[in-house]
Amino acid sequence: MQSSVSLNLIELGHFAAYLAFFVAITQALAPLAARYFKAPGLRTISVNAAPLVFLLTTVGALTIVYSFLTNNFSVLYVATNSNTHLPLFYKVAALWGGHRGSLYLWVWIMTAYTAAVGHHGRSRYPDRLAIIMAVQGALIAGFYGLVLFLSDPFARLFPIPAQGQNMNPLLQDPGMVIHPPMLYMGYVGFSIPFAFAMAALLTNWKSEQWIGHTRRWALIAWGFLTAGIIFGAWWSYYVLGWGGYWGWDPVENASFMPWLMGTALIHSISVQERRRMLHTWNIFLIITTFSLSLLGTFLVRSGVLASVHTFSAAPGQGVYLLTFMVIVLVLAFGLFLIKGGYQHAEESFISPLSRESMFIWNNVIFTIACACVLLGTLYPLFLQAASGARISVGPPYFDLVMVPIFLVMLVVMGIGPLVSWRKANLPKLRGRLLVPSLIGIALGAALWFAVGPVYWTAPVAVGLVGFVATTIIGNVGRAVWQRRRQHHEPLGRAFAKTVFGNRRHYGGMIVHTGILVMAIGLVGSGLFKESKLVMMAPGDVLHLAHEQVRFDGVRDVRGADFTAVQGRLTVLNNGAQLRPEQRVFFGSPMEVTRPSVNSTLLRDVYVDIGNHQHGKWEIHLFINPLVDFIWLGGGIVLSGVGFSLSDRLWRRKKSLAGSEAVSTRP
């Protein structure tokens, strides 16, 4: 029996959330009040309010988690997303396991970002910090309005049920703990560059004074969004039992679009920092990237889409989200149109063949890709709203459109780092492209002759991967050779000094390498996968793509909060055991399949078990080549992001070490 204190602790969290809502409104309005009352000191309220909003929101989150941990079914959200059998692991993750709690997590993350920017900006941009905090406060208040008045996670339920309904069975997987928070950290993180851009437009803040700070926050958000997408693909692959990892689902697209524009933004900022160009375009990219993050939130939570990724929406939530999104977009783009031209590029293009022009083509490619995904995602919705007709735009459209775009992107990725700033040296460029081009052509031809006639994208993609990989190796090799010639250092020391001395640049090269590794996995699993669906009796052997899998029967198993029928299969090639399951969770009538995978670097043997009749079971076998390259490449990409972000810390330590050395001199 729970104590009254335990039952009613949630009210403390509810009060803290309401208080955070009103403090966020104050945070948003303080600069306006300072201007109206001609009291500049009021602006500091915005800065000082940010950590308080985060603290109050944290109190609310902790009381929700505590309610899950103590099975406080007097809380409606707990009663509908947990029960006494739910493992502790998932009771904590249940905070974001449903619509109400996941929205609260969104707000919580936004308050954390805001508090971090407030702390970071006190010494770096104190004169503009209040405006940045005010923009963030307005966004927080907007989302808090949805949380508290339409999706309240603190709402009570009486009479109190003895048992909850349990978390959605599809969510009871370790991926649930990782994927949503990473995705939200990415989505919400792009609000920080957005706040900088709004502050710049409102105060005529020159871009060169803030764009460097924005790049770092954008890279952090991009890294989290990348992690969220990769973990989401991994989760889909290992849990849903369909043998794939990316189906161009509209909600998948909703996360992919801000990733595309965020990628363009990060590259474009480099041009502005180096060549003082693209000021206005970068502000447009910032607004667009955050707008697409809001669009993704609307698509997932409004009820306009039917998807395994979407939440059920109560009446009014979709209207609120749409209204909020439209207000933000109208104000942001309106301000951009009115004041976006206040700053102009200080330099201009000298040659169409230069590194900055390669970055421009990079932006064009990613913008076209995003527009194609946006069209394929929203067109069915607009058509249904206009005529009532229902159509589905699926993988055939996206594969047809996106694969050529991706291949062009690889070309630009390979050529870009070889081209000089301002104007390329054509003889030198031709010399640097010769070997990579020959290696790329050789690899593409080798694949064609080794595998036989395949779809044209396979040899072209493999050739381009070889081309780009060779340009990266050549880029690093030339820099190391130059350092060895100048400093007469051993190879290992020269390599370390070169790479660690320019972490930002070589962090980008690591990211590009990760993209290439992922491309190998995408080509292998996308073009060479094989599958077979058969009915099998115990003892039957299934042959597919040089693999032999024997069905040994089934057995009943029991988990912490589920019962299951577990298939028992053996991969005869290496003796690996496969254990796919059909699970039924307590408190839920839904039957959930859990596939089983035997992975090596070169291939996955992927098995799912289905219905049975007449002593035979439905077995779905997939042979997916090179899938592990996708996860390996994703890890390399994230390590590159971390390496690039460590550049400022390394330079600060180096500066402090230099200062200490000077101070100790006699």
- Provide the percentage of residues in the chain whose pLDDT is more than 70: 93
Distance CA 137, CA 596 (A): 46
Give the model's pLDDT for residue 560.
79
**Which H or E run includes 55?**
helix 44-69
Instruction: Give me the residues paired with residue 616 across strands.
Output: 613
The closest of 80, 73, 113, 107 to 94, measured between CA atoms, is: 80
Is 562 in a helix, a strand, or coil? strand
Q: What are the two backbone dihedrals, phi and then psi, of residue 536, each rounded to the nearest 5 degrees?
A: -130, 140
**Preceding omega of 159 cis (within 30 degrees of 0):** yes
Give the model's pLDDT for residue 200.
92
Q: What is the pLDDT of residues 567-593, one digit of tens each?
A: 999 999 999 999 999 998 877 777 888
> Looking at 505-658, which runs of residues are DSSP E strands?
530-536, 541-544, 547-558, 562-571, 576-578, 581-585, 591-594, 596-599, 603-613, 616-625
Give the model's pLDDT for residue 307.
52
In this prediction, residues 626-652 reach a mean pLDDT of 89
Decide: 534 and 503 in contact? Cβ < 8 Å.
Answer: no
C-alpha of 284 from chain center: 21
Give the model's pLDDT for residue 346.
61
Give the model's pLDDT for residue 314.
59
Is 580 in a helix, a strand, or coil? coil
Half-sphere CA count of 269, side-chain side, radius 13 A: 24
Q: Which two tokens stand for residue 528?
A: 């060479």
The closest of 610, 647, 637, 646 to 242, measured between CA atoms, is: 610
The closest of 10, 118, 101, 110 to 63, measured between CA atoms, is: 10
Handedness of CA 344, 350, 352, 356 (dihedral sign): negative
Q: Which residue type occupies 299?
A: L
User: Is 50 exceeded by the pLDDT of residue 666?
Assistant: no
Q: What is the pLDDT of residues 115-151, one digit of tens each?
A: 999 999 998 889 999 999 999 999 999 999 999 999 9
Compute how many other C-beta atoms are within 10 angstroms of the C-beta atom of residue 105: 22
Q: What is the pLDDT of residues 390-446, one digit of tens each?
A: 777 888 999 999 999 999 999 999 998 888 877 777 888 888 899 999 999 999 999
Query: What is the arrangement of strands in the sheet containing 596-599, beginning at the earlier edge strand?
Result: 530-536, 616-625, 603-613, 596-599
Give the model's pLDDT for residue 394.
83
User: Is 80 exceeded by the pLDDT of residue 9?
Assistant: yes
pLDDT band at 255 (very low <50, low <70, confident <90, very high): very high
User: Is 70 exceeded by the pLDDT of residue 651?
Assistant: no
Instruction: Give me the residues paired with residue 536 across strands.
Output: 617
- Phi-psi domain of 421 (left: phi exceeds 0; alpha: psi -120 through 50; beta: other): beta
Q: What is the pLDDT of residues 436-484, one digit of tens each?
A: 999 999 999 999 888 877 788 899 999 999 999 999 999 999 999 999 9
Give the model's pLDDT for residue 391.
79
User: Is 50 exceeded by the pLDDT of residue 508?
Assistant: yes
Decide: 596 and 580 in contact? Cβ < 8 Å.
Answer: yes
User: Is 90 exceeded by the pLDDT of residue 655?
Assistant: no
**Radius of gyration for the chain, computed over Cα atoms and rounded to the nearest angstrom:** 27
Decide: 190 and 106 in contact? Cβ < 8 Å.
Answer: no
Concatenated DSSP letters for 413-478? HHHGGGSPSSS--HHHHHHHHHHHHHHHHHHHHHHHHHH-S--THHHHHHHHHHHHHHHHHHHHHH
Q: For all residues of the chain together, what is the average pLDDT?
A: 89
User: Is 80 exceeded by the pLDDT of residue 343?
Assistant: no
Distance CA 114, CA 189 (A): 9
pLDDT band at 662 (very low <50, low <70, confident <90, very high): very low
Give the model's pLDDT for residue 24.
97
User: Is 90 exceeded by the pLDDT of residue 488?
Assistant: no
pLDDT band at 345 (very low <50, low <70, confident <90, very high): low
Residues in Cβ contact with 201 at an 8 Å cutoff, skipping those fewer than 6 apart: 283, 335, 336, 339, 340, 342
Q: Which two tokens stand for residue 665?
A: 């001199």
Distance CA 566, CA 559 (A): 11
Environment class of 120 (CB within 10 Å of its CB; exposed 0-12, middle 13-18, buried 19+) = middle
User: Is 50 exceeded by the pLDDT of residue 219?
Assistant: yes
Question: For residues 167 and 637, which has the higher predicted lDDT (pLDDT)?
Answer: 637
Q: What is the pLDDT of residues 167-198, one digit of tens each?
A: 888 888 888 889 999 999 999 999 999 999 99
Question: For residues 498 and 317, which has the higher predicted lDDT (pLDDT)?
Answer: 498
Q: What is the pLDDT of residues 274-322, one digit of tens each?
A: 877 888 899 999 999 999 999 988 888 766 655 544 455 556 788 888 8
Give the model's pLDDT for residue 422.
78
- Phi-psi domain of 312 (left: phi exceeds 0; alpha: psi -120 through 50; beta: other): beta
Q: Which two tokens stand for residue 318?
A: 């979709």
Q: Which residue type occupies 246?
A: W
List the chain domain ranges. Answer: 1-172, 177-185+200-409, 425-528+629-648, 530-625
Q: For 72-81, 153-162, 377-386, 486-495, which range has the lowest pLDDT when averaged over its residues?
A: 377-386
Residues in Cβ contact with 542 at an 8 Å cutoff, skipping those fewer than 6 apart: 532, 534, 536, 548, 549, 550, 551, 619, 621
Distance CA 254, CA 380 (A): 14
